[in-house]
Structure 1
Amino acid sequence: MKRLRMLTVATLAGILALNLSLPSPAAVSPEPVHARPHVAGELSVMTYNVKGLPFPAAYGRAGKLTEIGQRLGYLRRAGVQPHVVLLQEAFIPEAKAIAQAAGYAHVALGPQISDVRSAPTDLAAGASWIKGESLGKWVDSGLVILSDYPIVRTRKMAFPADMCAGFDCLAAKGVLLAWIKVPGHDGPVAIADTHLNSRKASGVDVNRANTAYALQVAAARNFIRANVQADTDIIFGGDFNLGHDPNRVAAEEAEGGIVPGAREATSLANSIDTTGMAARDRTAILSRAKDKQYFRAGTDEGLALRDLEVPFGIGNGGTELSDHLGFVASYAVR
């Protein structure tokens, strides 16, 4: 048993502590299938889980992450880049380097290991070290916000050390919140980024994973309530790991939603312009139901969803870049 424990700890350390980069030459970036020119009075926000995992949890990611940065840079040269990009799983340096490669002037980083605090939860009992629990945090939150517009202030919140389940416990997950000054808009727009506890991928019983999920949703909701005033426009994106699990859906819908009073962008796909989403990209995003953008207008109703698009879709190698398709939601702002 002692040898098994040592082997498991060594394996986990290898998976999540070594920021090694295996060479993987980036392919020539094809032009995006869908890319719509900017419109005055608009704010475009992309949410993208880039699978920036350390080796050997994921193999050869450096080249793919470099290509993501190159493709976002191409969008910039074409004048159709998203104004704001929310990254998840940007754990390794090559993932964080996407900001520079893509030409974003303003960058905010999410919770770090040092931000994690202890707070008792029912999940502490029965923690399984072999599933990554009770071993401490090995990587940061993997959350990064990139912006063309000035980030005037930020706040971040790491979930308590035991508010997690399975292998997700090895990351310092939480919420990153930034206030961004959008040209022509009276006050800053609050934009948040998160990556919540996985379900089956956590490696533990689904009920345990769902318990952690519900606690994280409640903590995120409370964090938003405490820091974003009701009269402030807010967009809350990320990898919510929601899916179609009724327990997870109920957790997010409780108390008026994870952002009380907000609507979710992809749920409105049937009522807005989605010509920028190929049919199979749209099906993939809606059926997986993990990547989301919740938005709520302030008291002046100055934030409204216009359309959705997928710049790097299945048709031009998007599934080779990451196991998620990044999508862009464009909002009218006034």
Structure 2
Amino acid sequence: MIRRLVLTAALAAALSFGVSARAQEAAPPPEPKTEDTPPAAFHPVGPMQPVELSVMTYNVEGLPWPVRFGRGSKLKAIGRQLAALREKGLQPDVVLLQEGFRDEVRDLIQLSGYAHVARGPRKKQRDANPFSKDDRPPYKRVKYRRKGEGWGKWGSSGLWVLSDHPINWVKSHAYRYCAGLDCLANKGVMLVSLDVPGLPTPVEIADTHLNSKGASGVPRNRNRMAHHLQAEELGHFMENDRTPGAPLIVGGDFNVMHAPDRYDYVMQRYPFEVVSQVCFQEPQSCDAKISADGDAPWLDTQDLIGFKPGDRVAIRPVQVEARFDGSTTGGPVLSDHDAYEVTFRLTPIPALPVPPHQP
């Protein structure tokens, strides 16, 4: 009888473990936050001290069939690679994704192990024209119908933010202007607020994807004008929706490779310090593990990460490296873009004492 009870208990434990393991393995990814999610209150977690925050931007080429083949398995592989980095304690604190259109991006999120997720503009999101009636550009929104203009939105923005730190709120804007095949996606910008222990204020992080060049399928003047208008929209959104004085990190696929006119226009409309430019010009302050060719390495890629210091938090990049670039240290190539990771040092700025009132 005792042996039977022991065997029964052992069998029940094994079955329970098996069910728990399967349930854990099949657990859905975290429900993504969007603009519809009520904002959470910020509660500083002390003591206040300098912290390091790593941010990766990655265009994962999550395009649907028949535009791309085999991308579902690659998205899952990206999730497994991020999980492998997590096992070693090397995962980025924050991951900014672009072109996350396919359903398998949820598998990527589940496998990667990030507890907090936010999603950018969805397929049906439409936002007000940021230009006043008297200031609207002379841009015909449907000109090249055979290249996708005027067909409606076939997909979302493809923007996602994955974070190990809690997300307070999400704001987003779907770009009104576009050119060519890019118009089939609801491209835009998203902004999230993160609680980072050791800092007196939240850190805000933006993720965006701007209009492509030749891949749009329309003439250069057309796609360049759309890119410029989206840079205008980006500037309007950041000026109106960003918390004044908050430390800011900006990343994404800006589609500026070998296009100084595009890069300069973005910087004129919403200037921020670009990490690759800072690290190239001040190499003693930044461990750059990415090769730099020429005098403007920030134009050697479509992807940028930049920053703006806050009133109460200083911010500087301290390390830059490539991921998933086919190197022995970066990992396998899993997209038509490399991942780009920056480690920032964020330092609280002591509040100035208030002078006593003198009559």
Amino acid at match of 2:138: D
2:54 alignment partner in structure 1: 44
Maintained 8 Å contact 1:281/1:313? no
Matched, 1:312 2:294: no
2:339 alignment partner in structure 1: 326
Matched, 1:208 2:222: yes
Residues 88-119 of structure 1 deviation map (CA, whole Å, 9 limit, x = unaligned) = 00000112332211000000001012212475
Matched, 1:300 2:312: yes
The runs of 5 or more residues in structure 1 that have no matched partner are 1-38
Maintained 8 Å contact 1:281/1:314? no
The runs of 5 or more residues in structure 2 that have no matched partner are 1-48, 130-135, 348-359
1:141 aligned residue (157, 162, 166): 157
Amino acid at match of 1:138: W
CA spacing shift, 1:76–1:253, aligned 2, 3 Å: same
1:194 alignment partner in structure 2: 208
Maintained 8 Å contact 1:105/1:147? yes
Amino acid at match of 2:302: K
SS of the aligned residue for 1:114 comes to: coil
1:104 aligned residue (88, 93, 114): 114
Query: What is the alpha-carbon distance in structure 2 between the residues aligned to residue 106 and residue 93 of structure 1?
Result: 18
Amino acid at match of 2:114: Y
Query: What is the alpha-carbon distance in structure 2 between the residues aligned to residue 217 and residue 63 of structure 1?
Result: 33
How far apart are 1:283 and its partner, in Å? 11
How far apart are 1:307 and its partner, in Å? 0.9
Query: What is the alpha-carbon distance in structure 2 between the residues aligned to residue 125 and residue 286 of structure 1?
Result: 30
SS of the aligned residue for 1:327 comes to: strand
1:36 alignment partner in structure 2: none
SS of the aligned residue for 1:210 comes to: helix
CA spacing shift, 1:191–1:225, aligned 2, 3 Å: same
Matches within 5 A, 1:42-191: 42-117=52-127, 119=129, 122-124=138-140, 127-160=143-176, 163-191=177-205
How far apart are 1:227 and its partner, in Å? 1.3
Matched, 1:288 2:300: yes
How far apart are 1:252 and its partner, in Å? 1.2
Question: How many residues are aligned here?
Answer: 289
CA spacing shift, 1:53–1:137, aligned 2, 3 Å: same
Q: TM-score, normalised by structure 1?
A: 0.80
CA spacing shift, 1:244–1:280, aligned 2, 3 Å: closer
SS of the aligned residue for 1:175 comes to: strand
SS of the aligned residue for 2:181 comes to: helix
CA spacing shift, 1:266–1:282, aligned 2, 3 Å: farther
Query: What is the alpha-carbon distance in structure 2 between the residues aligned to residue 174 and residue 59 of structure 1?
Result: 25
Maintained 8 Å contact 1:179/1:190? yes
Maintained 8 Å contact 1:86/1:193? yes
How far apart are 1:67 and its partner, in Å? 0.8
1:236 aligned residue (240, 250, 261): 250
Amino acid at match of 1:58: R
Query: What is the alpha-carbon distance in structure 1 between the residues aligned to residue 165 and residue 295 of structure 2?
Result: 32
% identical aligned pairs: 39
Maintained 8 Å contact 2:199/2:313? no
Query: What is the alpha-carbon distance in structure 2 between the residues aligned to residue 83 and residue 146 of structure 1?
Result: 8
How far apart are 1:280 and its partner, in Å? 8.1
CA spacing shift, 1:183–1:164, aligned 2, 3 Å: same
When the two chains are superposed, the root-mean-square deviation of aligned CA atoms in Å is 2.4
Maintained 8 Å contact 2:213/2:224? yes
Amino acid at match of 1:234: L
1:15 alignment partner in structure 2: none
Residues 174-195 of structure 1 deviation map (CA, whole Å, 9 limit, x = unaligned) = 0011000111111110101000
Residues 153-192 of structure 1 deviation map (CA, whole Å, 9 limit, x = unaligned) = 11011012xx000000000000011000111111110101
The structure with the larger Rg is 2
Q: TM-score, normalised by structure 2?
A: 0.75
SS of the aligned residue for 1:115 comes to: coil
Query: What is the alpha-carbon distance in structure 1 between the residues aligned to residue 95 and residue 192 of structure 2?
Result: 12
CA spacing shift, 1:215–1:101, aligned 2, 3 Å: same
Amino acid at match of 2:315: L
How far apart are 1:304 and its partner, in Å? 1.3
Maintained 8 Å contact 1:46/1:86? yes
Query: What is the alpha-carbon distance in structure 1 between the residues aligned to residue 293 and residue 333 of structure 2?
Result: 14
Query: What is the alpha-carbon distance in structure 1 between the residues aligned to residue 50 and residue 86 of structure 2?
Result: 16
Amino acid at match of 2:144: S
How far apart are 1:269 and its partner, in Å? 3.0
Maintained 8 Å contact 1:285/1:325? no
